[in-house]
Structure 1
Amino acid sequence: MPVSKSTIPKKSIMLPPGVYCPVISLYKSTKTQETDLDAMYKHCQYLVRSGQHGLVYQGTNGEAVLLSPSEKKDVLRTVRKAVTDLGVPDYPIVAGISGQSTNESIQLAKDAAEAGASFALLLPPSFWAKAVSEEALLQFYRDVADESPLPVVIYNFPGVTSGIDLNSDDLATLAQHPNIVATKLTCGNVGKAVRLTSKFSPEQFSVYGGSSDFLFPTLEAGGVGCVTGLANCFPKSTARIYDLWIEGKVDEARSLQNVVANAEWACKKSLALTKFGAGYFLGKKIGVEDERTFYPRRPYLPPSQKMKDWTVEVMSVLVEEEDAIPLKSFGKGVNGTK
């Protein structure tokens, strides 16, 4: 017996499909680690030129909980300028709006829209996890989506929300809201993705994987892309899996997926290793060579030398693939110049 397809209307604005980098926050080499907007401008432009289909700021990799509201707005204004200077002013910029209260998340959504974001990414509240009933969870998302000037993407990541995990029934219910357009499944549950894609078309509710080590299975299951921290280090290769799959080059996509999955293993260990990897493999390419720019914000610490060495060994399997892919050209070039 076939699964019943949803009859909800198509959403008026959908998050474009593809691979999105959840961009790390970069800091100045000072005691207070102010955000380094110049470095983030350069990093942004390199990610776009590398073929990333969109960028996410102020998510988990962006250390959102460690940034002030004013810092968040400054970063979003900076990266919107960066993509505009490249000649792609409408490039998708997703902003994390995750707060512990409904009011906070609504305000963050309004701030993000004012600063130039195009979509909003929202975790469930988790400060007092036992008090977050299913009813409270669904109402939270509906209330925020009602007031958000940006289309909302549900961010499901039990690892950072005290174990709160939206199941496929919860997500299917929320998919019916006209301003909730997609979900990012960092829970890594491909079965959940299949259940959702069996009910909804991508125009009704889009499904994204939460990392690139299962991008190929996500696409085969009916999903439309992923959000991957590894893209901070290897943006061309991660985007290339999607591009190959779309072009019908399935065997090539699967082959590249195998290498990417092994490189991404280092990102699973800690954000500090993702940031170190970005500095090691990408820093010189974007003209940001001070490794302290890629340190986590205090109180979190940079990795030990042993873990740095291990990260280089694990991620290096992808260097050859990355270097073989050319950068893309845009109308105005980097920093607005030909």
Structure 2
Amino acid sequence: MFHGSIPALVTPFRNGAVDRKAFAALVERQIAGGSSALVPVGTTGETSTLTTEEHKDVVTLCVEVAAGRVPVIAGAGSNATDEAIDLVEHAKAVGADAALVVCPYYNKPNQDGLEAHFRAINDAVALPVLLYNVPSRTVVDLLPETVARLAQLPNIVGIKDASGDVARVSQHAALIGSAQFVQLSGEDPNALGYLAMGGKGCISVTANVAPDMCAAMHAAFQAGDLAGAQAIERKLIALHKALFCAPSPGPAKYALSRLGLCEPDVRLPITQPDAAARETIDAAMALAGIHA
């Protein structure tokens, strides 16, 4: 079900509120550009500064606009297990195809606590769940042995791995022993390497800005055209890096504003990129051939 280029969608704002019209247009652009699924209200969607009502509304809107044309993987993470269950329940109720559930952050659970968290979600809601491991943000690291145990549960279908350790693709595969467990990269710069190691795709920040190029890179690799995939990736690598030259998703929203697709507004404590960062993003967009 989940493969290829999957954007972690930004949540556009206008005058401090969610810009639903701009969000719907971004969803349409992603589908037209060849993205294979959509992730609303993940990290890039500024879920940490959305209210619960806004979070649920954006998921609902994404499902409505996608209208079954591509799967919707709803961001549904929390550091409180009961809240995560509530968000997964909502995702199922409005017709999302899966939930992306980040490791609990701030309270620093051990491996037993992480496993119990995801087991509770698995037991509470019959909806496919992708684990989301991003130690740089959560402080905790979901280790391969824990992932392997969770993979035996009926609703745990895969992982978005943003640990930066590409070797984990092989570790997970060796421990789990099932091709049905979907491994997705959570970092654009290692997406091609992740595919080569046996991963199925990437939940991408760059796809917000360049959906067609990201989709084409994955399609080329799957068609056996490694040289073609490499050529696209070389055009995108500066953009991958530039979109994190200031706190995310500020750079992605700035790039989208350059394309006339949404305002560059972010919510505090994230601030918009400064002049030097904007120059870096502009240069990376030019290298990739992306113009308004």
Q: What TM-score results when the alignment is normalised by the length of structure 1?
A: 0.81
Residue of 98, 122, 125 corresponding to 1:119:
98
Where does residue 282 of structure 2 map in the other structure?
Answer: 312
Residue 153 (structure 1) aligned with residue 123 (structure 2): no
2-structure distance, mates of 1:307, 1:300 = 14
Residue 168 (structure 1) aligned with residue 144 (structure 2): yes
Residue 204 (structure 1) aligned with residue 180 (structure 2): yes
Q: Segments of 4+ in structure 1 off by > 3 A? A: 198-203
Please tell me the residue identity of whatever aligns with 2:62.
Answer: V
Unaligned runs of 5+ in 1: 1-14, 324-338
Per the TM alignment, residue 265 of structure 1 is displaced from its structure 2 partner at its CA by: 0.5
**Paired residues, what number?**
290
Please tell me the residue identity of whatever aligns with 1:299.
Answer: P
Please tell me the residue identity of whatever aligns with 1:52.
Answer: S
Residue of 124, 141, 151 corresponding to 2:118:
141
Structure 1, 51-60 or 146-155: larger mean CA deviation: 146-155
Where does residue 63 of structure 1 map in the other structure?
Answer: 46
Please tell me the residue identity of whatever aligns with 1:81.
Answer: E
Contact kept, 8 Å, 1:54 with 1:93, in 2: the verdict is yes
Query: Computing the radius of gyration over CA atoms, which structure comes out larger, 1 or 2?
Result: 1
1-structure distance, mates of 2:29, 2:105 = 34
2-structure distance, mates of 1:248, 1:133 = 41
Residue 221 (structure 1) aligned with residue 227 (structure 2): no
Please tell me the residue identity of whatever aligns with 1:25.
Answer: T
Please tell me the residue identity of whatever aligns with 1:151.
Answer: P
Where does residue 79 of structure 1 map in the other structure?
Answer: 62
SS in 2 for 1:54: coil
Aligned pairs (5 A) from 1:292-311: 293-311=263-281
- Write the deviation string for residues 118-161 of structure 1: whole angstroms up to 9, x where unpaired: 110111112222xx121111111111111123211000101211
2-structure distance, mates of 1:244, 1:120 = 27
Per the TM alignment, residue 24 of structure 1 is displaced from its structure 2 partner at its CA by: 0.4
2-structure distance, mates of 1:93, 1:223 = 19
1-structure distance, mates of 2:178, 2:199 = 8
Per the TM alignment, residue 315 of structure 1 is displaced from its structure 2 partner at its CA by: 2.9
2-structure distance, mates of 1:306, 1:47 = 28
SS in 1 for 2:243: helix
Where does residue 244 of structure 2 map in the other structure?
Answer: 268
Structure 1, 107-116 or 152-161: larger mean CA deviation: 107-116
Question: Identity percentage over the alignment?
Answer: 25
2-structure distance, mates of 1:304, 1:136 = 40
2-structure distance, mates of 1:199, 1:90 = 34
Residue 277 (structure 1) aligned with residue 260 (structure 2): no
C-alpha RMSD over aligned residues: 1.7
